[in-house]
Amino acid sequence: MWSTFIVQDEEVRTVNTSGGLDGFLGSRGGGRKRRHRTHSSSGDGINESQEGKIKLTLFMAVTGIMLTVLGVGTEFWVEFKPSKSFYNNQTCLVAHYGLWKCCTKTFWVSDMDPKQEICGSLHLQGESNCTFFKFYTTGENIVLFQKTPEKDLTVASAMFAIISLFLMVMGAICIIMAVSKGVQFFLKPAAVCFILSGVLIFLCIIIFHQSVLSFLASDQSIPLNHEMAWSVTCVGCAGGLVIVAGVLFLVLALPYSPWEKCLPKKNSDI
């Protein structure tokens, strides 16, 4: 009987001791969780409202990145259209190029409107021929309508486009890290990357336009009608989107709300 009582008493003590340790460890874990929540809700953290705004702005920036990739990768930056009688009375030639590739397209004059004086348009059926620029590799320039494009300006615009794409990708990576880690530290470098990439995109368009003007001025004996095509429109829209996204990320990185500073709430007690 005494042995049974001693065994039961030891089991009760063991249960009480383990329960006390569990309670103590649980209270310490709860304190850690409370401290973690307190830290995440501090000024360095990102709350749910900010996270939603950051994701929405990131969607805008990603849209700009996709438009940039589409515009940089296509060759519809500028179109050149001579008169229908440039070669002969049966066919006419239209050329268009971008940062990397040049294309020519031959049309039958009989397929176009008789009242139309210039050759076009690109949506008509014709024989197309595209070649990549060789001045990136061998330094050899191309000749279109007895004119030569300014390769230095074209290379400079391509370099600005590549650097801009790199900055956009770096900004997107910073935003992803900010959302995954729950900290605002990465918002400021992301904002700088997006704003700078947008500025470089517009510089790319300006330099490319200067190269087009230099191409037209290389030989004025052949008149050409030129117009900037849809690839430039994509890149221009992308530059505007990433600049706006960068400004919004910079606003979200501020330790205070600019709306509350500009439009303070009125005191309801007055």
pLDDT, position 204: 95
pLDDT, position 170: 95
pLDDT, position 5: 44
Query: 32-89 pLDDT, tens per residue?
Result: 433 343 344 444 677 777 788 888 999 999 999 999 999 999 989 998 888 877 766 7
The CATH fold of domain 48-259: Butyryl-CoA Dehydrogenase, subunit A; domain 3 (1.20.140)
Domain boundaries, the chain: 48-259
Query: 142-176 pLDDT, tens per residue?
Result: 888 878 878 888 899 999 999 999 999 999 999 99
pLDDT, position 242: 95
Residue bearing tokens 């947008």? 198
- 253 pLDDT band (50/70/90 cuts)? confident
Q: Which whole-number Å values give the CA distances from 189 to 48, 57, 100, 167, 184, in the listed order?
A: 21, 15, 30, 10, 10
Q: Residue 56 corresponds to which tokens in the numbers above?
A: 């929405």
- Which of 103, 101, 106 lies closest to 124 in space, CA to CA? 106
- Decide if pLDDT at 109 tops 80: no
pLDDT, position 254: 77
Q: Residue 167 corresponds to which tokens in the numbers above?
A: 């900055």
Q: In whole angstroms, how large is the CA radius of gyration of the chain?
A: 32
Give the DSSP H/E element, type plus range, for residue 68: helix 48-73
The length of the chain, given as a count of residues: 270
pLDDT, position 12: 43
pLDDT, position 87: 67
CA angle 102, 108, 113 (to 5 degrees): 110
- Decide if pLDDT at 127 tops 70: yes
pLDDT, position 130: 86
Q: Classify residue 76 by its DSSP letter.
A: -
Query: 128-146 pLDDT, tens per residue?
Result: 888 888 878 777 788 888 7
